[in-house]
Structure 1
Amino acid sequence: MSQPSLRYDIFISYRFTQHDWAEVLAHNLVAQGYKVFIDAWELYGGQHFTHAIEQALKASRCAILIATPEAADSGWVQHEYELMFSLKQKGAGFFFVPVVWGKFPDFPFLDVVHAVDFGDSAEAKYREAFQRLLCALRQTAPGLPRILTVC
Protein backbone atom coordinates (compact mmCIF):
# COMPACT_ATOMS: atom_id res chain seq x y z
CA MET A 1 0.00 0.00 0.00
CA SER A 2 1.43 3.39 -0.95
CA GLN A 3 1.99 6.21 1.49
CA PRO A 4 -0.80 8.81 1.24
CA SER A 5 0.30 12.18 -0.11
CA LEU A 6 0.59 14.95 2.45
CA ARG A 7 -2.69 16.84 2.53
CA TYR A 8 -2.15 18.67 5.81
CA ASP A 9 0.67 20.62 7.37
CA ILE A 10 -0.59 20.00 10.90
CA PHE A 11 -2.83 17.45 12.58
CA ILE A 12 -4.23 18.60 15.94
CA SER A 13 -4.84 15.95 18.61
CA TYR A 14 -6.85 16.97 21.66
CA ARG A 15 -9.46 15.78 24.14
CA PHE A 16 -12.94 16.98 23.21
CA THR A 17 -13.21 18.90 26.49
CA GLN A 18 -10.55 21.27 25.05
CA HIS A 19 -12.36 21.66 21.72
CA ASP A 20 -12.92 25.43 21.93
CA TRP A 21 -9.29 26.15 22.75
CA ALA A 22 -8.07 23.71 20.08
CA GLU A 23 -10.26 25.36 17.47
CA VAL A 24 -8.94 28.85 18.33
CA LEU A 25 -5.41 27.48 17.96
CA ALA A 26 -6.36 25.91 14.62
CA HIS A 27 -7.81 29.22 13.35
CA ASN A 28 -4.60 31.02 14.37
CA LEU A 29 -2.48 28.44 12.53
CA VAL A 30 -4.64 28.74 9.40
CA ALA A 31 -4.13 32.53 9.59
CA GLN A 32 -0.38 31.80 9.40
CA GLY A 33 -0.90 29.84 6.18
CA TYR A 34 -0.97 26.28 7.51
CA LYS A 35 -3.36 23.60 6.26
CA VAL A 36 -4.75 22.14 9.48
CA PHE A 37 -6.63 18.95 10.22
CA ILE A 38 -8.95 19.27 13.19
CA ASP A 39 -11.71 16.72 13.40
CA ALA A 40 -14.55 19.22 13.81
CA TRP A 41 -13.71 20.73 10.40
CA GLU A 42 -13.04 17.56 8.47
CA LEU A 43 -15.31 14.78 9.75
CA TYR A 44 -19.01 14.42 8.92
CA GLY A 45 -21.91 12.52 10.42
CA GLY A 46 -21.96 8.82 9.63
CA GLN A 47 -18.28 8.75 8.71
CA HIS A 48 -16.09 5.94 10.11
CA PHE A 49 -13.97 8.35 12.12
CA THR A 50 -11.28 5.94 13.36
CA HIS A 51 -10.07 5.27 9.82
CA ALA A 52 -10.49 8.91 8.75
CA ILE A 53 -8.45 10.23 11.67
CA GLU A 54 -5.68 7.67 11.19
CA GLN A 55 -5.49 8.51 7.46
CA ALA A 56 -5.42 12.25 8.19
CA LEU A 57 -2.58 11.79 10.65
CA LYS A 58 -0.63 9.74 8.11
CA ALA A 59 -1.27 12.49 5.53
CA SER A 60 0.13 15.24 7.79
CA ARG A 61 3.63 16.72 7.85
CA CYS A 62 3.50 17.04 11.63
CA ALA A 63 1.12 16.99 14.59
CA ILE A 64 0.33 19.02 17.66
CA LEU A 65 -0.74 17.07 20.71
CA ILE A 66 -2.60 19.32 23.14
CA ALA A 67 -1.42 17.82 26.41
CA THR A 68 -3.77 18.35 29.34
CA PRO A 69 -4.61 16.15 32.32
CA GLU A 70 -7.89 15.26 30.57
CA ALA A 71 -6.01 14.26 27.40
CA ALA A 72 -3.66 12.09 29.46
CA ASP A 73 -6.72 10.12 30.59
CA SER A 74 -8.08 9.68 27.05
CA GLY A 75 -7.62 6.33 25.35
CA TRP A 76 -8.20 7.99 21.98
CA VAL A 77 -5.51 10.67 22.52
CA GLN A 78 -3.18 7.87 23.65
CA HIS A 79 -3.94 5.99 20.40
CA GLU A 80 -3.16 9.12 18.35
CA TYR A 81 0.09 9.61 20.29
CA GLU A 82 1.13 6.01 19.59
CA LEU A 83 0.48 6.55 15.88
CA MET A 84 2.48 9.82 15.98
CA PHE A 85 5.35 8.04 17.69
CA SER A 86 5.24 5.26 15.07
CA LEU A 87 5.25 7.77 12.20
CA LYS A 88 8.20 9.60 13.76
CA GLN A 89 10.13 6.33 14.21
CA LYS A 90 9.70 5.49 10.50
CA GLY A 91 12.05 8.39 9.75
CA ALA A 92 10.02 10.06 7.00
CA GLY A 93 10.46 13.52 8.55
CA PHE A 94 7.22 13.43 10.54
CA PHE A 95 7.38 15.06 13.97
CA PHE A 96 5.00 16.15 16.68
CA VAL A 97 4.97 19.07 19.08
CA PRO A 98 3.41 18.71 22.52
CA VAL A 99 1.49 21.78 23.59
CA VAL A 100 0.65 22.10 27.28
CA TRP A 101 -2.41 24.12 28.12
CA GLY A 102 -3.38 24.61 31.74
CA LYS A 103 -2.11 22.23 34.42
CA PHE A 104 0.88 20.14 33.37
CA PRO A 105 -0.33 16.62 32.52
CA ASP A 106 1.10 13.22 33.34
CA PHE A 107 2.37 12.15 29.91
CA PRO A 108 5.60 10.10 30.29
CA PHE A 109 7.00 11.41 26.97
CA LEU A 110 7.04 14.95 28.41
CA ASP A 111 10.05 13.84 30.48
CA VAL A 112 12.14 13.77 27.28
CA VAL A 113 10.28 15.88 24.70
CA HIS A 114 10.21 19.66 25.08
CA ALA A 115 6.67 21.07 25.13
CA VAL A 116 5.41 24.50 24.21
CA ASP A 117 3.73 25.72 27.40
CA PHE A 118 0.67 27.91 26.87
CA GLY A 119 0.25 27.81 30.68
CA ASP A 120 -2.28 30.53 31.14
CA SER A 121 -4.67 32.22 28.78
CA ALA A 122 -3.53 35.82 29.23
CA GLU A 123 -3.26 37.36 25.77
CA ALA A 124 0.41 38.38 26.05
CA LYS A 125 1.40 34.90 27.30
CA TYR A 126 -0.65 33.26 24.53
CA ARG A 127 1.08 35.38 21.86
CA GLU A 128 4.52 34.50 23.26
CA ALA A 129 3.71 30.78 23.39
CA PHE A 130 2.18 30.91 19.90
CA GLN A 131 5.44 32.37 18.54
CA ARG A 132 7.33 29.52 20.22
CA LEU A 133 4.92 27.06 18.61
CA LEU A 134 5.54 28.59 15.17
CA CYS A 135 9.29 28.13 15.74
CA ALA A 136 8.70 24.51 16.76
CA LEU A 137 6.67 23.90 13.61
CA ARG A 138 9.59 25.27 11.56
CA GLN A 139 11.91 23.20 13.78
CA THR A 140 13.99 26.24 14.69
CA ALA A 141 15.01 27.58 18.08
CA PRO A 142 13.16 30.74 19.15
CA GLY A 143 16.38 32.62 19.93
CA LEU A 144 16.81 35.25 22.57
CA PRO A 145 13.63 36.79 23.93
CA ARG A 146 13.07 40.49 23.49
CA ILE A 147 14.48 42.46 26.37
CA LEU A 148 12.09 44.80 28.05
CA THR A 149 13.64 48.06 29.17
CA VAL A 150 12.80 49.44 32.57
CA CYS A 151 12.61 53.18 32.94
Structure 2
Amino acid sequence: MSTDIFLSYSHQDSDIMAKLRADLSRAGFSVWTDEGLEPGTASWQRAIRRALREARCMVVILSPDAEQSKWVEIELGWAERFGLRIFPVLAKGEFDDAVPFSLVHVQQVDIRTAYENVEIALLPTLQRHLGVAEPVGDAEVREEMTHPMAFDWVPISAGAFRMGSDKTQDKDAYDDETPQHSVAVADFKIARVPVTVAQFAAFVDATGHRTTAEKEGSAQGWSGKEWEVIQGAYWAAPRGPESHVRDKVDHPVTCVSWHDANAFCAWATEMYRAAGQQIEIRLPTEAEW
Protein backbone atom coordinates (compact mmCIF):
# COMPACT_ATOMS: atom_id res chain seq x y z
CA MET A 1 0.00 0.00 0.00
CA SER A 2 1.53 3.32 -1.07
CA THR A 3 2.04 6.30 1.23
CA ASP A 4 1.95 9.91 0.10
CA ILE A 5 4.86 11.18 2.20
CA PHE A 6 7.89 9.67 3.89
CA LEU A 7 8.75 12.13 6.68
CA SER A 8 12.48 12.15 7.53
CA TYR A 9 13.77 13.87 10.67
CA SER A 10 16.25 13.75 13.52
CA HIS A 11 14.78 12.39 16.72
CA GLN A 12 16.06 15.59 18.36
CA ASP A 13 13.38 17.36 16.30
CA SER A 14 10.51 15.05 17.28
CA ASP A 15 8.38 17.97 18.47
CA ILE A 16 8.55 19.64 15.06
CA MET A 17 7.96 16.29 13.35
CA ALA A 18 4.80 15.66 15.38
CA LYS A 19 3.37 19.09 14.56
CA LEU A 20 4.22 18.83 10.86
CA ARG A 21 2.88 15.27 10.62
CA ALA A 22 -0.41 16.39 12.15
CA ASP A 23 -0.71 19.28 9.69
CA LEU A 24 0.12 17.06 6.71
CA SER A 25 -2.47 14.51 7.84
CA ARG A 26 -5.12 17.21 8.28
CA ALA A 27 -4.39 18.34 4.72
CA GLY A 28 -5.32 14.87 3.47
CA PHE A 29 -1.90 13.24 3.07
CA SER A 30 -0.92 9.82 4.35
CA VAL A 31 2.38 10.16 6.23
CA TRP A 32 4.95 7.53 7.28
CA THR A 33 7.50 8.06 10.07
CA ASP A 34 9.87 5.69 11.86
CA GLU A 35 8.33 6.46 15.24
CA GLY A 36 8.57 3.40 17.46
CA LEU A 37 11.48 1.84 15.56
CA GLU A 38 15.05 1.71 16.87
CA PRO A 39 17.32 3.46 14.32
CA GLY A 40 20.06 1.30 12.83
CA THR A 41 18.55 -2.08 13.68
CA ALA A 42 17.85 -4.66 10.99
CA SER A 43 14.10 -4.19 11.39
CA TRP A 44 14.54 -0.40 11.07
CA GLN A 45 16.51 -0.77 7.84
CA ARG A 46 13.94 -3.13 6.32
CA ALA A 47 11.07 -0.87 7.35
CA ILE A 48 12.81 2.23 5.98
CA ARG A 49 13.54 0.65 2.60
CA ARG A 50 10.01 -0.69 2.30
CA ALA A 51 8.45 2.64 3.31
CA LEU A 52 10.60 4.58 0.83
CA ARG A 53 9.73 2.19 -2.00
CA GLU A 54 6.05 2.69 -1.23
CA ALA A 55 6.22 6.49 -0.71
CA ARG A 56 5.38 9.01 -3.42
CA CYS A 57 7.75 11.69 -2.10
CA MET A 58 9.89 12.63 0.89
CA VAL A 59 9.60 15.61 3.21
CA VAL A 60 12.77 16.08 5.26
CA ILE A 61 13.03 18.34 8.32
CA LEU A 62 16.38 20.13 8.20
CA SER A 63 18.28 21.25 11.30
CA PRO A 64 21.85 21.04 12.61
CA ASP A 65 20.88 17.79 14.36
CA ALA A 66 19.43 16.35 11.16
CA GLU A 67 22.50 17.41 9.19
CA GLN A 68 24.67 15.43 11.63
CA SER A 69 22.34 12.42 11.72
CA LYS A 70 23.68 9.44 9.79
CA TRP A 71 20.15 8.00 9.78
CA VAL A 72 18.74 11.04 7.96
CA GLU A 73 21.70 10.80 5.58
CA ILE A 74 20.87 7.15 4.88
CA GLU A 75 17.21 7.96 4.28
CA LEU A 76 18.12 10.77 1.87
CA GLY A 77 20.45 8.42 0.00
CA TRP A 78 17.76 5.77 -0.39
CA ALA A 79 15.18 8.37 -1.42
CA GLU A 80 17.48 9.56 -4.20
CA ARG A 81 18.18 5.96 -5.23
CA PHE A 82 14.45 5.24 -5.47
CA GLY A 83 13.88 8.43 -7.48
CA LEU A 84 11.68 10.20 -4.92
CA ARG A 85 11.21 13.94 -5.12
CA ILE A 86 12.50 15.51 -1.91
CA PHE A 87 10.85 18.53 -0.26
CA PRO A 88 13.17 20.08 2.37
CA VAL A 89 11.76 22.01 5.32
CA LEU A 90 14.33 24.24 7.05
CA ALA A 91 13.30 24.15 10.71
CA LYS A 92 16.32 25.18 12.81
CA GLY A 93 19.80 26.64 12.60
CA GLU A 94 21.78 28.55 10.01
CA PHE A 95 21.66 27.46 6.38
CA ASP A 96 25.28 26.23 6.33
CA ASP A 97 24.80 24.19 9.50
CA ALA A 98 21.44 22.65 8.63
CA VAL A 99 21.35 21.96 4.89
CA PRO A 100 23.28 18.93 3.57
CA PHE A 101 25.34 19.38 0.43
CA SER A 102 22.94 17.26 -1.63
CA LEU A 103 20.11 19.73 -0.93
CA VAL A 104 21.97 23.04 -1.16
CA HIS A 105 20.43 23.80 -4.55
CA VAL A 106 16.96 22.46 -3.73
CA GLN A 107 14.46 25.12 -2.70
CA GLN A 108 13.57 24.82 0.98
CA VAL A 109 10.44 25.88 2.83
CA ASP A 110 11.80 27.98 5.69
CA ILE A 111 9.78 27.65 8.91
CA ARG A 112 12.46 28.85 11.35
CA THR A 113 10.66 32.12 12.08
CA ALA A 114 7.38 31.56 10.26
CA TYR A 115 5.77 28.14 10.69
CA GLU A 116 2.83 29.38 8.63
CA ASN A 117 5.04 28.82 5.57
CA VAL A 118 3.93 25.18 5.85
CA GLU A 119 0.45 26.27 4.83
CA ILE A 120 1.58 29.03 2.47
CA ALA A 121 4.27 27.16 0.55
CA LEU A 122 4.64 23.48 1.47
CA LEU A 123 1.04 22.26 1.39
CA PRO A 124 0.17 23.82 -2.00
CA THR A 125 3.37 22.38 -3.50
CA LEU A 126 2.60 18.90 -2.18
CA GLN A 127 -1.01 19.14 -3.32
CA ARG A 128 0.12 19.90 -6.85
CA HIS A 129 2.78 17.18 -6.84
CA LEU A 130 0.57 14.47 -5.34
CA GLY A 131 -2.77 15.53 -6.76
CA VAL A 132 -4.46 15.72 -3.37
CA ALA A 133 -7.49 17.98 -3.47
CA GLU A 134 -7.32 21.14 -1.38
CA PRO A 135 -10.33 22.84 0.23
CA VAL A 136 -12.56 24.45 -2.39
CA GLY A 137 -12.21 27.95 -0.98
CA ASP A 138 -8.42 27.82 -0.99
CA ALA A 139 -8.36 26.32 -4.48
CA GLU A 140 -10.56 29.09 -5.86
CA VAL A 141 -8.38 31.80 -4.34
CA ARG A 142 -5.17 30.21 -5.60
CA GLU A 143 -6.70 29.70 -9.06
CA GLU A 144 -7.63 33.36 -9.21
CA MET A 145 -4.13 34.43 -8.19
CA THR A 146 -1.93 32.03 -10.10
CA HIS A 147 -3.63 30.68 -13.21
CA PRO A 148 -2.24 32.22 -16.43
CA MET A 149 -5.82 32.91 -17.54
CA ALA A 150 -5.82 35.65 -14.91
CA PHE A 151 -3.60 37.82 -17.14
CA ASP A 152 -5.33 41.07 -18.08
CA TRP A 153 -4.23 41.64 -21.67
CA VAL A 154 -4.09 45.20 -22.99
CA PRO A 155 -4.13 45.63 -26.81
CA ILE A 156 -1.45 47.91 -28.26
CA SER A 157 -2.12 49.26 -31.75
CA ALA A 158 0.45 49.11 -34.53
CA GLY A 159 2.55 52.20 -35.08
CA ALA A 160 5.94 53.66 -35.93
CA PHE A 161 8.36 55.71 -33.86
CA ARG A 162 11.95 56.88 -33.66
CA MET A 163 13.95 54.36 -31.62
CA GLY A 164 17.31 55.02 -30.01
CA SER A 165 19.16 58.17 -29.01
CA ASP A 166 20.90 61.06 -30.71
CA LYS A 167 24.13 62.00 -28.92
CA THR A 168 23.81 65.58 -30.11
CA GLN A 169 20.65 65.81 -27.98
CA ASP A 170 21.49 63.30 -25.22
CA LYS A 171 25.12 63.40 -24.11
CA ASP A 172 24.54 60.52 -21.66
CA ALA A 173 23.33 58.12 -24.36
CA TYR A 174 25.17 54.80 -24.65
CA ASP A 175 26.84 53.80 -27.90
CA ASP A 176 24.47 50.86 -28.36
CA GLU A 177 21.52 53.29 -28.35
CA THR A 178 22.69 54.87 -31.58
CA PRO A 179 21.99 55.59 -34.33
CA GLN A 180 18.43 56.74 -33.93
CA HIS A 181 16.20 55.04 -36.50
CA SER A 182 12.57 54.50 -37.49
CA VAL A 183 10.84 51.33 -36.29
CA ALA A 184 7.38 49.99 -37.16
CA VAL A 185 5.68 47.76 -34.58
CA ALA A 186 2.73 45.49 -35.35
CA ASP A 187 -0.32 45.06 -33.12
CA PHE A 188 0.38 43.13 -29.91
CA LYS A 189 -1.00 42.64 -26.42
CA ILE A 190 0.81 43.09 -23.13
CA ALA A 191 -0.20 42.20 -19.58
CA ARG A 192 -1.56 45.16 -17.65
CA VAL A 193 0.60 44.38 -14.61
CA PRO A 194 3.89 42.48 -14.09
CA VAL A 195 3.96 38.76 -13.29
CA THR A 196 3.16 38.32 -9.61
CA VAL A 197 4.87 36.31 -6.90
CA ALA A 198 1.88 33.94 -6.80
CA GLN A 199 1.98 33.34 -10.56
CA PHE A 200 5.71 32.67 -10.51
CA ALA A 201 5.26 30.36 -7.51
CA ALA A 202 2.72 28.33 -9.51
CA PHE A 203 5.27 28.03 -12.33
CA VAL A 204 7.99 26.85 -9.93
CA ASP A 205 5.62 24.38 -8.27
CA ALA A 206 4.59 22.92 -11.63
CA THR A 207 8.03 22.67 -13.22
CA GLY A 208 10.59 22.56 -10.42
CA HIS A 209 12.41 25.45 -12.11
CA ARG A 210 15.50 26.75 -10.31
CA THR A 211 16.23 30.38 -10.99
CA THR A 212 19.55 31.91 -11.91
CA ALA A 213 19.73 33.49 -8.45
CA GLU A 214 19.27 30.10 -6.76
CA LYS A 215 22.01 28.54 -8.89
CA GLU A 216 24.42 31.41 -8.27
CA GLY A 217 23.53 31.87 -4.59
CA SER A 218 22.80 35.60 -4.80
CA ALA A 219 20.81 38.31 -6.55
CA GLN A 220 20.99 42.07 -6.90
CA GLY A 221 18.76 44.35 -4.88
CA TRP A 222 18.29 48.10 -4.54
CA SER A 223 19.50 49.47 -1.21
CA GLY A 224 17.78 52.82 -1.69
CA LYS A 225 21.00 54.36 -2.96
CA GLU A 226 22.60 51.74 -5.18
CA TRP A 227 22.37 48.20 -6.48
CA GLU A 228 24.01 45.63 -4.22
CA VAL A 229 24.63 41.88 -4.33
CA ILE A 230 22.55 40.09 -1.67
CA GLN A 231 23.78 36.64 -0.70
CA GLY A 232 21.05 34.00 -0.55
CA ALA A 233 18.47 36.23 -2.23
CA TYR A 234 16.07 34.74 -4.77
CA TRP A 235 12.46 35.29 -5.83
CA ALA A 236 10.92 33.89 -2.60
CA ALA A 237 13.46 35.66 -0.34
CA PRO A 238 14.40 38.83 -2.25
CA ARG A 239 16.27 40.45 0.66
CA GLY A 240 18.16 37.32 1.67
CA PRO A 241 17.43 34.14 3.67
CA GLU A 242 15.65 35.96 6.52
CA SER A 243 13.17 37.66 4.18
CA HIS A 244 9.98 36.25 2.67
CA VAL A 245 7.14 37.13 0.29
CA ARG A 246 4.25 35.37 2.00
CA ASP A 247 2.38 38.67 2.48
CA LYS A 248 3.27 39.93 -1.00
CA VAL A 249 1.82 37.27 -3.28
CA ASP A 250 0.14 39.91 -5.44
CA HIS A 251 3.34 41.98 -5.80
CA PRO A 252 5.60 41.77 -8.88
CA VAL A 253 8.08 38.90 -8.64
CA THR A 254 11.72 40.01 -8.41
CA CYS A 255 15.17 38.40 -8.53
CA VAL A 256 14.40 36.68 -11.84
CA SER A 257 16.69 36.71 -14.86
CA TRP A 258 15.93 36.90 -18.57
CA HIS A 259 16.30 33.10 -18.70
CA ASP A 260 13.84 32.65 -15.81
CA ALA A 261 11.33 34.98 -17.46
CA ASN A 262 11.60 33.13 -20.76
CA ALA A 263 11.04 29.80 -19.01
CA PHE A 264 7.95 31.24 -17.30
CA CYS A 265 6.59 32.42 -20.65
CA ALA A 266 7.11 28.99 -22.23
CA TRP A 267 5.22 27.35 -19.36
CA ALA A 268 2.40 29.91 -19.51
CA THR A 269 2.09 29.29 -23.26
CA GLU A 270 1.67 25.56 -22.61
CA MET A 271 -1.00 26.31 -20.01
CA TYR A 272 -2.97 28.44 -22.45
CA ARG A 273 -2.69 25.85 -25.22
CA ALA A 274 -3.78 23.08 -22.87
CA ALA A 275 -6.90 25.19 -22.29
CA GLY A 276 -7.53 25.39 -26.05
CA GLN A 277 -6.11 28.86 -26.73
CA GLN A 278 -3.41 28.74 -29.41
CA ILE A 279 -1.43 31.81 -28.43
CA GLU A 280 2.20 32.42 -27.62
CA ILE A 281 3.26 34.24 -24.47
CA ARG A 282 6.68 35.87 -24.67
CA LEU A 283 8.66 38.82 -23.41
CA PRO A 284 8.13 42.11 -25.26
CA THR A 285 10.82 43.10 -27.72
CA GLU A 286 12.92 46.18 -27.06
CA ALA A 287 10.91 48.08 -29.66
CA GLU A 288 7.59 47.00 -28.13
CA TRP A 289 8.77 47.94 -24.65
User: Normalising to structure 2: TM-score of the pair?
Assistant: 0.42
- Letter of the aligned partner of 1:18 in structure 2? D
> Does the alignment pair 1:26 with 2:15?
no
Cα distance change, pair 106–31 in 1 and its aligned pair in 2 (3 A): closer
Counterpart among 74, 89, 100 of residue 90 in structure 2:
100
Deviation at 1:131, TM superposition (A): 2.3
Moved more, 127-136 or 17-26: 127-136
Deviation at 1:147, TM superposition (A): 4.2
- In the alignment, which residue of structure 1 is the partner of 2:180? none
CA distance in 1, matches of 2:19, 2:42: 24
- Contact 1:97–1:136 (8 Å) recurs in 2: no
> Does the alignment pair 1:127 with 2:116?
yes
- In the alignment, which residue of structure 1 is the partner of 2:45? 50
- Letter of the aligned partner of 1:25 in structure 2? L
- In the alignment, which residue of structure 2 is the partner of 1:59? 54
Please give the per-residue CA displacement for 1:8-55, whole angstroms capped at 9, x wherever unaligned. Answer: 1001000000011101100111001100001227x59x9811101111
- Alignment: residue pair count: 132
Does the residue aligned with 1:53 lie in a helix, a strand or coil? Answer: helix
What percent identity do the matched residue pairs reach?
28
- Letter of the aligned partner of 1:131 in structure 2? I
> Does the alignment pair 1:118 with 2:111?
yes
- Considering Cα pairs closer than 8 Å and 6+ residues apart, tell me whether 1 or 2 has the greater RCO: 1
CA distance in 2, matches of 1:109, 1:136: 20
CA distance in 2, matches of 1:78, 1:147: 35
Does the residue aligned with 2:119 lie in a helix, a strand or coil? Answer: helix
Deviation at 1:135, TM superposition (A): 2.4
- Contact 1:65–1:96 (8 Å) recurs in 2: yes
The ranges of structure 1 where at least 4 consecutive aligned residues each deviate by more than 6 angstroms after the TM superposition are: none
Q: Which runs of 5+ in 1 are unaligned?
A: 1-5, 89-93
Deviation at 1:96, TM superposition (A): 1.1
CA distance in 2, matches of 1:106, 1:31: 27
Does the residue aligned with 1:10 lie in a helix, a strand or coil? Answer: strand
Considering only aligned residues, what root-mean-square deviation do their CA atoms show, in Å? Answer: 2.6
- In the alignment, which residue of structure 2 is the partner of 1:91? none
- In the alignment, which residue of structure 1 is the partner of 2:34? 39
Moved more, 108-117 or 27-36: 108-117
- Contact 2:63–2:92 (8 Å) recurs in 1: yes
CA distance in 2, matches of 1:73, 1:95: 22
Cα distance change, pair 146–106 in 1 and its aligned pair in 2 (3 A): closer
- Letter of the aligned partner of 1:115 in structure 2? Q
Higher helix share: 1
- In the alignment, which residue of structure 2 is the partner of 1:75? 70
| Rg larger for | 2
- Contact 2:109–2:121 (8 Å) recurs in 1: yes
User: Normalising to structure 1: TM-score of the pair?
Assistant: 0.76
